[in-house]
Amino acid sequence: MILPIPFIDFIPKAFDRDSKALALANKIDDNLTEWSDELISTETIMDPARVNVAFLEELGYIVNAGILPSDTETQKRKKIQNAVAAHKKRGSFAFDAKPKIDAIAMGNSQIIQTIGTDDFILVDDGTTPTAYYFAALGCDGLNLNLGISLIGAGDEGEIAGNIYIDVDNSALTAAQIDQIVMELEFDISPAYYRTHIGYMDISGAFIEYTVIG
């Protein structure tokens, strides 16, 4: 396609080429160049890495990428890139949750299998203040009923229904945390589960940002 640029050359010589005509021609040159670039860029509309930023939301709509108004350009591109795989394995961590978290936190998120607590929580036997036992079974000298005595808040990582996710970023803003919650709470975080969002510090302790559920 041949563009009439510079447009001033296409104005008939019979017309005066004064400052007003030059300004009009320059404006037309700018518009023609912009329109040409947009038309040529449509050939990359199905490539999330190269598509013009003006078409990102439309492409995201086509593949149902779940683009939010608060998403950055990079986040939009990553969502579009992973949308098809996420639909095939909806709700999975590796193919659905992780790409969305990493696009926000810019880290390598992972599910924490254990947060360093004992499998059985220390409990007092009720008679000797200084004596503690692991999962104490009822026996002579202990005022415990037969069976394993477990005492805790119910949010320990070893208890089913608690999911701990390390976002691999110790400096998330409140807005980023809210965005992660928004991504997970509706159709990724399982119902009746508690999803703990946080990070592991240098000592190996899990520092919690927030809890979903």
User: What's the average model confidence in pLDDT over 140-148?
Assistant: 48
**How does strand 194-200 pair with strand 162-166?**
parallel
Q: Give the contacts of 15 (CB within 8 A, at least 6 positions apart).
A: 21
* Sequence ranges of the domains in the chain: 107-117+156-213, 120-150
Return the closest-CA partner of residue 197 out of 185, 211, 179, 182.
211
CA 20 and chain centroid, separation = 51
pLDDT digits (tens, 9 = 90+) for 89-130: 887 888 889 988 998 999 999 998 764 444 444 444 444 444
Which pTM does this prediction carry?
0.56
